[in-house]
Amino acid sequence: MSPERFQQIEALYHAAREGTSEQRAALLARADPELRRQVESLFAQADSGELLDRPAIQNTPELLGDCTVTELSSGACLGPYSIESKLGEGGMGEVFRAIDTRLGRAVAIKTTHERFAERFQREARAISSLNHPNVCTLYDVGPNYLVMELVEGETLAARLKSGPIPLKTVLLYSSQIVAALVEAHGKSIIHRDLKPGNIMIGKSGVKVLDFGLARSGQDETVTASRMIIGTPGYMAPEQREGKPADARSDIYSFGLVLYEMLTGARVGPQRKRIRPRRLKRIVDRCLEEDPGRRWQSSAELQRELAALSLVKHRAYIAGGIAAILALAAATGYFFLHRTPGLRAKNTIVLADFENKTGDPVFDQTLRQGLAVQLEQSPFLTLISDQQTGQVLRLMNRPPETRLTPEISREICERTGSSAVLEGSIVGLGSQYILWLRARNCRTGEALAEEQAQAEKKEAVLNALSRIAIQIRTRLGESLATIQQHSTPLEQATTSSLEALKAYSAATVAIHTHGAPAAIPELERAIAIDPQFAMAHADLGFMAYGVGQTDRGAEEVRIAYRLLDRVSDRERRYILMLYDRQVTGNLEKELHTLESWAQTYPRDPYPQGIIGGWVTHGTGQYERGIQASEDAIRLDPSILYGYGSLASHNLALNRFSEAADALRLAAGRKLEYSGFLVTRYYLAFLKGDQAGMDREVTRAPGEHASDTMSHHQALVLARSGRMLQARTMWERAIAAARQAGNREAAALYEAAAAVSEAHFGNKAAAKERAQAALELAKGRDVEYAAAFSLALSGDVPESERLAADLEKRFPEDTPVQFEYLPTLRALSTLAHRAPPDAVARLQPAVPYDLALPGTAFPYGMFGGLYPAYIRGEAYLAAGRGQEAAAEFQKVLNHRGIVLADPIGALAHLQLGRAYVVSGDRTKAKSAYHDFLTLWKDADSDIPVLIQAKADYAKL
Amino acid sequence: MEAASGEITNLLKAWSGGDPDALERLAEQVYPELRLMARRYMKNERAGNSLQATALVHEVYLRLVDVTKVDWQHRAQFFAMAAQMMRRILVSAARARTSQKRGGRSPNVNIEDTAVLSTGPDRSILAIDEALTEFSQLAPRQAKVVEMRYFGGLTEEEIVTALNISPRTVRRDWDFAKAWLSKKLNS
């Protein structure tokens, strides 16, 4: 173009623009066609402003990339991030290691060639909300760089270069990758570029990188003129065609990754075989061309993979301790142990080096050198010397015991570690041969082996380092598959590993099936190691809890004799049990427990036990509530904490708080058969028959026949329906005998005896009492039998039994402060000396409101008997008002008396008391209350007949 | 900085006074400063960044020159020079980037790992620069206006002073140049 032409164009352009539209039209018309065309084409650039209106420096997306890339080198700063080193290069850009100087943490910075869309930066907020152990967290976003979690390890792509991955590892990695997908898809973030290059294998598992670097959520149709992002090799078919991608596209990509992990090869026209068949099915369905035929959600895929998992022992998978405890346990027991949980990953035990060179210089140095090398591995953790020492102590061995392969293997099993690493060094002339071997300590299977030669002594450590590095890499992978299966054994003092295993099995059984399943395991542990103190102690505890008080006492006595060889905590436990079950001295027990709680303030166990029998049996309900709350706070999975919280509140008549405690447990997915009984009585106290029936139907299997029948019998007896009550008791007794639980059967007989005695059925009462004593002679059975006999006129026998109780249980709290005073008072009454009877009951006064052994933990009868009998004594002495006060006490404490017959009889007795004190109106009212309660009673019950007659006279 | 500022001020005055050598030495001092500031600006640039590109040249000016010793004409000349420098800085940066993309510095990657990209119409700085160079053959003054405004981020007033033309001319030149360059780039 000539300059003149140019000037013409310019002149016409300006003239036309600055004139009116008519002038413009005229000017253009006058111009020659070529000129006109030129100028009009310039006018057509109406939107040209867009091009140059923003200053160049703001309009240069590509420059920003350039800027950071050329500047980023070690020591450079990118805002608050200080660049340390370059980690690598990828298709999208480079990755640097940097330090976030504000937080002092290491991060990874990934730069990209292109500037991110504005939209991505907005969406980055959603992506950074992904916080999951298997997702590489996004911390920060810049115009063309990302700041992410630094993952140290290797990519799956790099790993796959060495070939396919073992099945167990594949399943492990798969579950983690899918977990990441589930997390992201749950937040509407699609990965879109899932591939081995985006999956890192790190110390603590697999991490998926670059989530949503494309777009997130619903996307618009991608057309050729917009960007398509994704690596063609791993894209789902619909993505390759530019169609909208969704969660199922990620699932397709995952299928490709899974295939490659299993076979070591990319998916091709010929697919390689995959075993097992279920896994093949999963892979095939991931790789369906049609998204509608694939797994429809990552959650579904996750379930399928989980079902395939080889781990059967679900008790130890993280799904929560609560889930384990939710399985019904049988009658009460309380356990000292840690609840099962997951162990530190990939721990190994390092045995002592076997030094066959004869040169002492190698004795310690080799093991230390090896330890140093192993500790540098991101995949392994070594059991510390301190831990080793503790375990040796539990094995009854001195701390300096040499760690032979056998001992190391036992340590490995006891700590739930995965493998033992053994090594040896031997001299051959002037050369040395080093040898390392790793074994799975459960199966004995060799996992890795390395050998090296050193030409001279000075070269040995180098050679050791070399093979240590080799073996630690090889171990890292194989351990990942083992550790899923290894669970720690209980920490208990016994010299026998086999016994410890049985003991641990008992712990598992407790959590899954309750005491009846655990007792045989404990017996087995004791059979293997008769000196296993804790096994005896726990057996005693559990036996006591199912009503076998004598056996309970016996086992604890044995444990007590072994007291000198146990750990501190075990010692406290045994001492407490001794007080609890052998001497029965509850005050001492409380003292032991409080000292324990003080020494181990974060230990929930002593608090839990304080909330248990000891506070019930001494009537310290407020203290019990506090301790139960502390126990729950320290360990919310403690089942019995909630039960105790409920029963203490029940005893204080705080029924809604009791119900709340159980609801709290239910909310935490904790359930236990004892809760059923508490709920049953809460319904009873509300007069809610439907609620009571509901709990009865809920009782699992054999339990319904056993305990629940007994409670139903009590309720029936209380309203005078003895025929029905007897049937129920028969059922309970038969079931208990069938289950081999003689002591429970005896207690049920005794309860029946007491009821018959109260109601004046003397012959029946005596018969029942005898039957009870024939079954068992435990403390509570003996007392109840003696009580029935005294009321039924067989005073000498009652006195004999009382003397026996005194002899057998000189320190026992319920015996000394409730049973004996009551029995002696009855005896005195029989000998017609009422004032003495009252005096006899004096020792009971401080424990008036305590629960006797017949009431707790599972008999639920006999509460407030001392008060009741005191009332009778006052009545017999003609002191109506004092008598009325005692009976009123019985009526007031409904939460302690529950369904014991005296709850009904107290009305009658109150009536009698008012008669003696001269208050006829109140007397009538009291009689009326009783007769109303007994409106459906069997008509032949002596006490009823008498009551009706007396009422008529009023 | 004090000493440098004094030196730069003197150089500026010398150049204004007609000393061609002074321009070269001045450029030597100013260019690196300007480039550093430009890069820093671009690194910190995020959505909502308040720093205006136009302020960049001003900032450099204030930093390097002792304003008490120069007058508005010196300033105008400095800005004109700075605008030219900015063009060079931005263009050379873009060029370095492009050559990188073509494999000059790019890493060895497997073709299957490379991201698949397709871009829109070429509106890059390099294209503008090329078109502008061509345009300046025909219309040197108008091209200068674009250089100052687009690359230097100068205001109309500053361009008026630097080129010693009227505001109306500046506006007309800008309109025309935009239309012309748009047409060129869209063809």
pLDDT of residue A589 exceeding 50 = yes
The model's pLDDT over A857-882, given as tens digits with 9 standing for 90+, comes to 889 999 999 999 999 999 999 999 99
What gap in Å lies between CA B70 and CA A387, rounded to an integer?
A: 79
How far apart are the C-alpha atoms of B12 and B26, rounded to whole Å? 7
**Could you tell me which residues come within 8 angstroms of residue A663 by beta carbon, excluding any fewer than 6 positions away?**
none
Over residues A385-398, the pLDDT tens digits come to 878 888 888 888 88
**CA–CA distance, A826 with A814 (Å, rounded to integer):** 17
Judge whether A450 and A435 are in contact, CB under 8 Å: yes
Q: Which residue has the higher pLDDT, A952 or B19?
A: A952
Q: In Å, how far is B96's CA from the nearest CA of chain A? A: 8
Supply the pLDDT for residue A857: 82
DSSP class of residue A593 equals: H
Give the model's confidence band at A372: pLDDT under 50 very low, under 70 low, under 90 confident, else very high: confident
More confident residue, A301 or A482: A301
Q: Please, what is the Cα angle at B105 between B100 and B110, to 5 degrees?
A: 100
Q: Which of A82-96, A417-431, B44-58 is the least confident region?
A: B44-58
pLDDT score of A307: 73
Task: Calculate Rg over the CA atoms of chain A.
Answer: 41
Report the distance separating Cα B19 and Cα B13, nearest Å. 9
HSE-CB at B127 with a 13 A cutoff on CA atoms is 15
> In which band, very low, low, confident or very high, does the pLDDT at A629 lie, cut at 50, 70 and 90?
very high
Picking from A952, A937, A859, A860, the residue whose alpha carbon sits closest to that of residue A905 is A937
Residue A327: its pLDDT value, please? 24
Selected for mutation to probe chain A from B39, B88, B105 (highest A CB count within 10 Å) is: B39
Show which of residues 47-66 on chain B sit within 8 Å of chain A, judged by CB atoms. 47, 52-54, 56
DSSP states along A717-734: HHTT-HHHHHHHHHHHHH
What does the longest C-alpha to C-alpha distance in chain B come to? Answer: 62
**CB–CB contact A56 B114 (8 Å):** no
Residue B60: pLDDT band with limits 50, 70, 90:
confident
Backbone angles phi, psi at A425, to 5 degrees: -135, 135
| Confidence category of residue A946, pLDDT binned at 50, 70, 90 | very high
Q: Across the interface, do A89 and B153 touch by the CB < 8 Å criterion?
A: no
B138 closest CB neighbour out of A6, A60, A94: A6
Q: How far apart are CA A867 and CA A821, in angstroms?
A: 11
Chains A, B: CB contacts under 8 A, how many? Answer: 150
- Report residue A889's pLDDT band, with 50, 70 and 90 as the boundaries: very high
Average pLDDT along chain A: 83
| B124 burial type by CB count under 10 A (0-12 exposed, 13-18 middle, 19+ buried) | buried
Quick check: B146 and A52 in contact, CB under 8 A?
yes
pLDDT (0 to 100) of residue B123: 54
**Residue A193 annotated among the catalytic residues of the structure:** yes
In the structure, what pLDDT confidence band is assigned to residue B98 with cuts at 50, 70 and 90? low
Interchain CB contact of A13 with B (< 8 Å):
yes
A460's enclosing H/E stretch is: helix A460-482
Q: Which pLDDT belongs to residue A375?
A: 72
At A117 the pLDDT is 57
Instruction: Please give the structure tokens belonging to residue A82.
Output: 């200080």
Give the burial string for A748-770 (b: 16+ CB within 10 Å, else e).
Answer: bbbbbbbbbbbbbbbebbbbbbb
Alpha helices in A809-937 (DSSP H): 813-814, 820-830, 834-840, 865-876, 880-892, 894-897, 902-917, 920-933
User: Would you state the pLDDT for residue A389?
Assistant: 85
- Write down the pLDDT at residue A374: 79
Least confident of A112-126, A400-414, A446-460: A112-126
- Rounded Cα distance between A172 and A440, Å, is 18
Identify whether the C-beta of residue B162 lies closer than 8 Å to the C-beta of residue B148: yes
Residues of A450-462 as b/e, b for ≥16 C-beta within 10 angstroms? bebebeeeeebbe
The token pair that represents A736 in the structure block: 């208990």
- Residues contacting residue A909 through CB under 8 Å, at least 6 positions apart: A868, A871, A872, A875, A883, A887
* pLDDT greater than 60 at residue A229: no
Record: contact B43-A62, CB cut-off 8 A: no
CB distance from A29 to chain B under 8 Å?
no
Q: Are B26 and B8 in contact (CB under 8 A)?
A: yes
- DSSP state for residue A778 in the 8-state scheme: -
Q: How confident is the model at residue A332 (pLDDT cuts 50, 70, 90)?
A: very low
A92-104 pLDDT, tens digit each: 567 888 887 777 7
Strand locations in A143-295 (E): 145-149, 153-155, 199-202, 205-208
Distance from CA of A645 to the nearest CA of B (A): 58
Least confident of A426-435, A558-567, A724-733, B56-65: B56-65
Under DSSP, is residue A66 helix (H, G, I), strand (E, B) or coil? helix
CB of A349 closer than 8 Å to CB of A438: no
**Per-residue confidence (pLDDT) for residue A701, from 0 to 100:** 66
Q: Which amino acid is at B161?
A: T
Q: Residue A543's pLDDT band (boundaries 50, 70, 90)?
A: confident
Look at residues A942, A907, A912 and name the one whose alpha carbon lies nearest to residue A928. Answer: A907
Contact by Cβ (8 Å): A437, A446: yes
Which amino acid is residue A353, in one-letter code? F
Mean predicted confidence (pLDDT) in A572-596: 92
Q: Which range has the worst mean pLDDT, A86-100, A426-440, A713-727, A937-951?
A: A86-100
Answer yes or no: is pLDDT of B26 > 90. Answer: no
Binary contact (B42, A56; C-beta < 8 A): no
CB atoms under 10 Å from CB of A595, counted, come to: 14
Helix (H) or strand (E) holding A10: helix A3-18
Stretch 6-45 of chain B: residues touching chain A, C-beta under 8 Å: 38-39, 41-45
Q: Is ipTM over 0.95?
A: no
- Average pLDDT of A678-695? 94
A145 within 8 A of A115, measured Cβ to Cβ: no
Report CA-CA distances (Å) from A248 to A171, A182, A267, A290.
20, 11, 18, 10
Average pLDDT of the residues of chain B: 73
Encode pLDDT of A70-83 as tens digits: 345 566 666 677 78
Give the E-state strand segments of A517-567 in sequence order.
none
A772 contact partners, CB below 8 Å, separation of at least 6: A746, A747, A749, A750, A753, A781, A784, A785
Residue B109 is predicted with a pLDDT of 30
The reported pTM is 0.51
- Over residues A304-320, the pLDDT tens digits come to 887 776 433 232 333 32
